[in-house]
Amino acid sequence: MQVKDITSRDIWRAKQRISPYITRTPLVYSPALSEMTGANIYIKMENLQAIGAFKVRGAANKILGLSESQKEKGVSTFSTGNHGMAVAYIADRLNVKATVCMSKNVPDVKVKAISRYNPTILQNWDSQDAAGVYCYELQEKEGVTVIPPFDDKEIICGQGTMSLEILEDCPEIDTAIVPLSGGGLISGVTLGFKLTVPGVKVIGVSQERAAVMIESLKAGRPVEMPEEPTLADSLLGGIGLDNKYTFDIVRDYVDETVQVGEEEISKGIAYIMENHHVIAEGASATGIAYALRSGAIKKGSNVAIIVTGNGISMETVKQIVNDNY
């Protein structure tokens, strides 16, 4: 079986290719969430990647697949933060020149983290879509290779490797709760599960503010929206009007999509901090936020919640602690 041009072999190949460059993150049982929901809840701790986010999987798979001549010319990307950091990190390890274009809405904490890996950083736009336009102009002018943040086969397959790890650690998983933005993560995770264990239910969770994929699904086609301030800033950005992969995969294979509000996201961040001593950024905590809703989780089910990253400032953490305790 394959979806578009992606097969389970592609995801297994990605797993082998990226293994020297990523962390095989733990799948941690959550006694607190399990007791509260009456289900068996496990948390996939992608916040423990070297860069603090899952995006390193897709970036590694894409860049490692480039030819030597492509690597010599360099790479560029457009990002709300974590993908830019992933591209900069992998490029730095491979001695490849990188340029990261991002919107002005990316928090300073993420800009500072990206700069650690010495890319050229350009932050001149009001949206990720506008940054992306310039990124492709750079490709035309200088011959660099664009590393898309989500709508790309190799990116999707790289992200899908975490499904294989989850199944290796807990073959009984029957539900996966995944943050939803441009769809690269959830497309990879969904295919990783569906091409291996078709019965696994996948739930995508977005923020309420400027959730472009959700609105695109409602419209039946990719749409554009202005960005809005949100704790889940990593979920901001469009899906591309010429979307080739993720819109169709999310529409056809993700079982359910839901949205959580700012107060719920804040409580999700506070909950995982208190019960697991883990710092999770807003986008990362959307799955926890959804699980905290009364009746959201089916009793007796075996659930994997993906916590995607830790890119949050201590100022925001302090504010969330003050708001919740």
Number of H helices, E strands in the chain: 14, 12
Q: What is the domain partition of the chain in residue ranges? A: 2-54+152-324, 56-146
For the domain made up of 2-54+152-324, the CATH class stated in words is alpha beta
pLDDT category, 80, cuts 50, 70, 90? Answer: low
Retrieve residue 287's tokens. Answer: 């799955």
Which residues are bridge partners to 179 per DSSP?
A: 205
Tens digits of residue pLDDT in 214-270: 999 999 999 999 888 999 988 888 898 999 999 999 999 999 999 999 999 999 999
Instruction: Answer whether 2-54+152-324 and 56-146 agree in fold.
Output: yes
Alpha-carbon gap, residue 200 to 63, rounded angstroms: 30
What architecture does CATH give domain 56-146? Answer: 3-Layer(aba) Sandwich (3.40)
Amino acid letter, 323: D
pTM here?
A: 0.94
- The DSSP output letter for 281 is -
Tens digits of residue pLDDT in 40-66: 999 999 999 999 999 999 999 999 999
Given a contact cutoff of 8 angstroms between Cβ atoms, the answer to whether 51 and 85 are in contact is: yes
Retrieve residue 12's tokens. Answer: 């297994």
Q: What is the pLDDT of residue 97?
A: 96
